[in-house]
Amino acid sequence: MGAPRKLAGALLRAVLRLAPPESRDWALAMLRELDFIAGEWAALLWAIGSTAAILRHAASGWRIWLRGKSNKEAGMNSTGKKALGVGLGMLSALALVGCAFAVLRIAGIVFPALEHSPWAYWLAVLAIPEAVFVIATVMLWRKRGPVAAGILATGLVMALHVAVHLTLHW
Amino acid sequence: MKFRLSPQTLLVLEAFLEQAEEWKYGYDLSRVTGLKSGTLYPILMRLAGHKLLETEWEAASEPGRPPRHMYRFTPEGLRFARANVSAHANGALDQVALGLIPPSLVQG
């Protein structure tokens, strides 16, 4: 027995040991066929192809398992999931506002004239983020309702904050 | 039934339709169809998963010889294969008639 065939056998035996139960019969079937393959290199190619096939089979099993688990979790704890979605939406919105402030600061350093320009300030920290919030809310409303609600809530709080600020100072 | 019929899957179905009642081995199918194990086995797995193929371990014919995994159509699989292979062949002949594909692709 040559080295390629030995390697092929070792590879398929390792696959057989590591394969999940639902793929094990198939891995064993591929290993048994190895004895009937005439060429040394053909045996190795057979083993490599078989390994790929088992990996794909096992991966599809894991995908089904994960999907089933997430559906189960959704059924058991949908309130928690919704709260998590809203929190994620709010965090994303706040992160965007933070980024807008950071961009404004950097722009102020690079272009000092912008630092004293009120329109740049309102554009960067209010107009653009609010526009992004509205677009994101519309786009996410159907598929990721809680996240969209979180973004919308943050946008409304920000708009309210600006309205109060303007009322008090102007 | 929702089942993607790739050209490779059709090749496997055709190979099974040859003496459909007989059990077939993986390596023999690979030689007949020209498909590598990495392509052939996922197709066999899907066919078996859809209950179109039944699988069995061969009873050891000689001592010391490992049993092999064998495959053949279930009655439902046989109906499915006959329907789809002939439909594909008719479609291919139509395409040849229209000059969309060369005749060599549908011969044999």
Three-state SS at B55: strand
* pLDDT grade for B108, boundaries at 50, 70 and 90: very low
User: In the predicted model, is pLDDT for residue A73 greater than 60?
Assistant: no
Task: Provide the residue type at A144 as one letter.
Answer: R
B71 neighbourhood in chain A, CB within 8 Å: none
Q: What's the angle, vertex CA B85, arms to CA B15 and CA B6, rounded to 5?
A: 80
Residues found in chain A: 170
Q: What is the pLDDT of residue A165?
A: 80
Q: How many CB pairs below 8 Å do chains A and B form together?
A: 58
User: In the predicted model, is pLDDT for residue A75 greater than 60?
Assistant: no
Q: Is B11 left (phi over 0), alpha (psi -120 to 50) or beta?
A: alpha
N-to-C CA span, chain A = 91
pLDDT digits (tens, 9 = 90+) for B2-27: 677 889 999 999 999 998 889 999 99
pLDDT digits (tens, 9 = 90+) for A76-134: 566 777 788 888 888 888 888 887 777 777 777 777 777 677 777 777 777 888 888 88
Task: Provide the residue type at A87 as one letter.
Answer: G
**Cβ contact B81:B9 at 8 Å:** no
More confident residue, B60 or A159: A159
Question: CB-based contact (8 Å) between B69 and chain A?
Answer: yes
Q: What ipTM score was computed for the predicted complex, to two decimals?
A: 0.79
* Chain B interface test: which of A15, A23, A25, A26 (most B C-beta within 10 Å): A26
* pLDDT grade for B100, boundaries at 50, 70 and 90: low
Closest C-alpha to B72, from B108, B25, B35:
B25
